[in-house]
């Protein structure tokens, strides 16, 4: 059957507001052509991020009512801890308000001047938290992960040869090795079990801990089941447990694969690091049995972790993403292939070759997509990465637009609508104009910059 069956029915709805193209032109102008400045009420299909945008289930909402808000030793914490440990059997499980808080604590413990943290590809907040301690964040992605058109099953894999070479020369400067599953900054591409196992073997030789940045662990496990020899008959839970059996710790944003709107955790086996982490946690997040979350949030995570590994859910999830990506590919829209788990990444530079990189083809496409259909995506390119610390401007490696798909939120007809908008936009793409930056802040300019369209 071709129809994607959303494995849920809808009990509570959030109305969406339709706007006309004329209204959207005015709204965009008032937002200085920066999609972050739009009011979300003025967006029809919001694909800005898959983070914190999941729909919760009836069981999760029931958990919210059950939440116990005791300061210390709440039963909600113990339910959360047990649910995490069922999948990720670490000794210490420390809740945080979101993923970056876990990163901040981890790198405060092990980062610092002169330290080097390897990862397949650091996500922005991971890199920022490494660099905030004056340590260096290094990406060691396998070369095939840098080729957007190449069809390969595990383009998120780490280059283990490069990792070993680094450890040989810089062992005393590397406190931890990280792998991000799936590799968000590299197109949402999965990491194979063989690669995680291999990374563990390299780490063992040098006596280094391996941590997973595990935001999208369930999507990664689904790809392993589909694509890696020997895993087709294993359950998702078995695959997840094996993934984490090679790790000594993890950071997690529960806003992704725990199906909640806020939350995260740091988990690890080392007693000394855990003690230091709890001390830091108390400074900024809270007592170790709630860590910046309400008891009700911990309950929702506990249930979300059971639901996210259900195969009907994961099939719907990954099939929906592929459905959008494959339709765009058939239309001739260049995207990062193969489609990843949580998002489609459109290669705006290849799609709009008439727009010079200096006029931000990614931003131009994101603006046009909103004008065409009220769809909000996110530029990941020269606007985001082009401004250098010394003030100069350098083109990013790629000019992409990410369409991230919230979990359990949109149906196949929403996705069909996005595809229809793209068909229209693609037919008239030669008329799309570039833009320039009229004003920008000193750092992280993409969030607040003001743009003007080139006439």
If one asks whether residue 125 binds ligand F0G (CB under 6 A), the answer comes out as yes
Q: Which of 34, 60, 129, 184 binds ligand F0G (CB under 6 A)?
A: 184
If one asks whether residue 76 binds ligand F0G (CB under 6 A), the answer comes out as no
Q: Which residues pair with 439 in a beta bridge?
A: 450
Tokens standing for 209?
A: 């801990």
Shortest Å distance, C-beta 23 to ligand F0G: 27
Q: What is the DSSP track for 233-301? A: TS-HHHHHHHHHHT-SEEEEETTTTT--SS-EEEEES-HHHHHHHHHHHHHHT--TTTTTS-HHHHHHH
Binding residues among 8-27 for ligand F0G as defined by CB under 6 A = none
Cα–Cα distance between 260 and 183 in angstroms, integer?
20
Task: Return the range that interacts with ligand F0G (CB under 6 A); candidates 118-126, 235-243, 267-275, 279-287.
Answer: 118-126
Q: Which of 99, 188, 249, 381 binds ligand F0G (CB under 6 A)?
A: 99
DSSP state of 57: P
Q: 103: closest CA among 251, 282, 269?
A: 251
Q: 364: closest CA among 277, 291, 281, 430?
A: 430
Tokens standing for 154?
A: 């595990």
If one asks whether residue 98 binds ligand F0G (CB under 6 A), the answer comes out as yes
Query: How far from 156 is each of 121, 136, 227, 266, CA to CA, in Å?
Result: 8, 21, 13, 22
Task: Return the range that interacts with ligand F0G (CB under 6 A); candidates 97-105, 322-330, 363-371, 407-415.
Answer: 97-105
264 or 341: CB nearest ligand F0G:
264
Which run of H or of E encompasses 222? helix 217-227
- Which residues does 318 contact at the CB level (< 8 Å), separation at least 6? 219, 222, 223, 226, 341
If one asks whether residue 213 binds ligand F0G (CB under 6 A), the answer comes out as yes
If one asks whether residue 407 binds ligand F0G (CB under 6 A), the answer comes out as no
Residues across the chain:
455
79 or 127: CB nearest ligand F0G:
127
If one asks whether residue 127 binds ligand F0G (CB under 6 A), the answer comes out as no
Shortest Å distance, C-beta 135 to ligand F0G: 17
Q: Which of 77, 80, 90, 123 binds ligand F0G (CB under 6 A)?
A: 123
Binding residues among 24-53 for ligand F0G as defined by CB under 6 A = 49, 51
If one asks whether residue 121 binds ligand F0G (CB under 6 A), the answer comes out as no
Residue numbers at the binding site for ligand F0G (CB under 6 A) = 49, 51, 98-100, 123, 125-126, 180, 184, 213, 215, 253, 255, 264, 404
């Amino acid at each position: 059957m071709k129809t994607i069956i959303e494995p849920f029915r809808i009990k509570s709805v959030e109305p969406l507001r339709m706007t006309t193209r004329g209204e959207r032109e005015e709204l965009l102008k008032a937002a200085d052509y920066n999609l972050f400045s739009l009011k979300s009420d003025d967006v029809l299909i919001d694909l800005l991020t898959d983070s914190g945008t999941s729909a919760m289930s009836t069981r999760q909402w029931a958990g919210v009512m059950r939440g116990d808000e005791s300061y210390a030793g709440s039963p909600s914490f113990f339910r959360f801890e047990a649910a995490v440990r069922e999948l990720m059997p670490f000794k210490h499980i420390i809740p945080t308000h979101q993923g970056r808080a876990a990163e901040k604590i981890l790198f405060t413990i092990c980062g610092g001047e002169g330290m080097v943290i390897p990862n397949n590809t650091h996500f922005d907040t991971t890199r920022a938290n490494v660099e905030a301690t004056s340590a260096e964040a290094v990406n060691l992605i396998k070369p095939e992960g840098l080729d957007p058109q190449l069809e390969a099953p595990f383009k998120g894999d780490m280059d283990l040869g490069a990792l070993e070479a680094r450890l040989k020369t810089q062992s005393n400067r590397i406190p931890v090795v990280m792998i991000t599953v799936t590799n968000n900054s590299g197109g949402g591409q999965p990491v194979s079990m063989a690669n995680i196992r291999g990374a563990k073997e390299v780490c063992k030789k040098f006596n280094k801990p391996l941590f997973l940045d595990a935001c999208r662990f369930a999507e990664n496990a689904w790809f392993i089941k589909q694509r890696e020899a020997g895993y087709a008959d294993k359950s998702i839970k078995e695959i997840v447990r094996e993934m984490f059996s090679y790790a000594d710790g993890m950071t997690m944003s529960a806003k992704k694969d725990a199906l909640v709107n806020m939350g995260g955790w740091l988990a690890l086996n080392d007693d000394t690091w855990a003690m230091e982490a709890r001390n830091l946690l108390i400074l900024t997040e809270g007592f170790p049995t709630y860590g910046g979350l309400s008891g009700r949030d911990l309950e929702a995570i506990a249930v979300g972790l059971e639901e996210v590994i259900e195969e009907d859910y994961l099939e719907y999830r990954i099939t929906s993403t592929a459905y959008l990506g494959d339709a765009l590919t058939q239309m001739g829209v260049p995207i990062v292939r193969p489609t990843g788990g949580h998002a489609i990444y459109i290669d705006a530079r290849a799609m709009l070759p008439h727009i010079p990189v200096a006029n931000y083809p990614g931003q131009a496409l994101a603006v046009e997509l909103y004008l065409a259909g009220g769809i909000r995506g996110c530029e990941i390119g020269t606007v985001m990465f082009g401004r250098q610390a010394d003030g100069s401007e350098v083109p990013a490696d790629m000019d992409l637009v990410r369409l991230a798909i919230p979990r359990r939120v949109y149906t196949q007809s929403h996705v069909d609508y996005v595809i229809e908008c793209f068909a229209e936009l693609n037919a008239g793409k030669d008329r799309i104009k570039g833009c320039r930056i009229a004003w920008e802040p000193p750092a992280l300019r993409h969030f607040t910059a003001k743009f003007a369209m080139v006439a």
